[in-house]
Amino acid sequence: PAAEKAGAQQIPVNYDEAKVPPYTLPDLLTTKSGRQITSRKQWESHRPELIRLFSEHVYGKMPTQPVRLRYETTSVDLNALNGTAIRKQISVFFADYPQLPPMNILLYVPKGTTQPVPVFVSMNFQGNHSVSTDPGITLSTRWLPNLGAGKVVNHQATEAARGMQDRRWPVPMILARGYALATVYYGDVEPDHPDGWKTGIRSVLSPPAGPDSWGAIGAWAWGMSRMLDYLETDPAVNARKAVLVGHSRIGKATLWAGALDSRFAAVVSNDSGEGGTALARRWYGETIEHLNTQFPYWFCPQYKAYNKNPNALPVDQHQLLALIAPRPLYVASAVEDQWADPKGEFLGAKATEPVYQLYSKTGLGMSEHPAVNQPVGQTVRYHMRTGVHDVTNYDWEQYLKFADELVK
Ligand code: GCU
């Protein structure tokens, strides 16, 4: 990944379960003033307090002003992907800020459907053209991470960059199962480097100022909701059945977007680790200090106050996950992705149980960390697949099954 700063190597990393110090999580069903939550109604009136705490201490405050969007469909192909799909590309312009480039949506809808279809909504790391070799996808002209050995040169895509991440995007499989896929390059909202905000949405909406200013993660989450704004206007998709999916740093943003925007019907967080599904209080793998050292622009400045002391953070990540309830949530880990702390991700998912119970739903419904490649859970699901930090067909197969059972 781009612009990863040196210096984080000096911060100790623990990979020894025996060395994880004991910790106490903030109780999900106790308000800041010590009141016990025993009903859905009380939980729902507590939600704004939690969102405020995550805004002030972790992700920063989201801008509240409405933003006028103008949609321009730049291409439609009724016979994409060998005639199996309709491919649309839509530029979302920020009407009040003509200096900003648009956010470009790539939308695939399966052909031959008569009803609006449920849709997976997911940002990508390398430009829409990286998702598929489909030659009709417009090559991104934005700043891109220099990945893929010569495919991106001086942060600009070359023709060779087409499909460079298609392994992570089984588009035909998703369409064959009756889902649409909407994706946006996350750098359209903010390029992922320390100066990225200067050309992104944060340059015009709440630019960095105080300790609770939003960071890049907040900006990406904001963009996800703008994707949904567009999808609500497109008759080909059923925006009430939008499953928000994200990997890693985008998986962190996905959780924040899902917590804030209850229009998302379900949320999938793949290998999101620290600042995502992993518990901050567990000293294992990446820590808040690593995050803030390598990526000082991702979170709010106040988050740095917890670099050395996550126990002082007034929230932990299970509370973020619980803000998704009662909607379905999928948390995924990979066994070789110890940096993301698979066990901490599992424990974060498990700790949401009491809130799902308030809605008479079973969250995970089990307490042992499952063996590899053994998906578990009910309304909250979890798996730890074999292999490294990545998104694989195995992961997508589980998400499709989850969406079939709980969203479709
Ligand atoms: C780094 C970072 C993680 C992040 C990951 C990614 O490893 O430390 O927090 O999730 O990049 O986005 O791939």
Q: pLDDT per residue over 146-175, tens digit each?
A: 988 899 999 999 999 999 999 999 999 999
ipTM over 0.90: yes
> What confidence tens digit (pLDDT) does each residue in 249-274 have?
999 999 999 999 999 999 999 999 99
* Overall average pLDDT of the 338-364 stretch: 98
Q: Ligand 1 pocket, 249 CB below 6 A?
A: yes
Give the pLDDT score at 207. 84
Residues 6 or more apart whose CB falls under 8 angstroms from that of 299 comprise 58, 59, 60, 215, 217, 275, 291, 292
Give the pLDDT score at 293. 97
* Overall average pLDDT of the 130-139 stretch: 98
Q: Ligand 1 pocket, 210 CB below 6 A?
A: no
Per-residue b or e along 135-153, where b marks 16 or more CB atoms closer than 10 Å to that residue's CB: eebeebebbbbeebeebbe
Active-site option among 122, 132, 248, 272 = 248
Rounded CA separation 24/27 (Å): 9
CA of 217 to the centre of ligand 1 (A): 12
CA of 291 to the centre of ligand 1 (A): 8
Atom of ligand 1 nearest to the CA of 125: 12
* Overall average pLDDT of the 318-340 stretch: 98
Give the pLDDT score at 208. 81
* Unique residue bearing structure tokens 């920063």: 60
Give the pLDDT score at 6. 59
Q: Ligand 1 pocket, 285 CB below 6 A?
A: no
* Overall average pLDDT of the 176-183 stretch: 98
For a mutational test of ligand 1's pocket, the pick from 5, 248, 303, i.e. the residue with the most ligand atoms closer than 8 A to its C-beta, is: 248
Q: Ligand 1 pocket, 273 CB below 6 A?
A: yes
Q: Ligand 1 pocket, 1 CB below 6 A?
A: yes
> What confidence tens digit (pLDDT) does each residue in 61-80 have?
999 999 999 999 999 999 99
Give the pLDDT score at 245. 99
* 248 tagged catalytic: yes
Q: Taking 80 as the threshold, does the pLDDT of residue 281 lie above it?
A: yes
CA of 307 to the centre of ligand 1 (A): 17
Give the pLDDT score at 136. 98
Nearest CA among 172, 145, 148 for reference residue 159: 148
Task: Tell me the percentage of the chain whose pLDDT exceeds 90.
Answer: 95
Give the pLDDT score at 8. 82
- Average confidence score pLDDT of the chain: 96
Sheet holding 117-124, edge to edge: 69-79, 85-94, 103-110, 180-185, 117-124, 237-247, 266-270, 329-334, 380-385, 376-377
CA of 155 to the centre of ligand 1 (A): 19
Q: Ligand 1 pocket, 316 CB below 6 A?
A: no
* 389 tagged catalytic: yes
Q: What is the DSSP letter of 241?
A: E
CA of 248 to the centre of ligand 1 (A): 6
Rounded CA separation 24/281 (Å): 8
- The dihedrals phi and psi of 76, each to the nearest 5 degrees, come to -135, 130
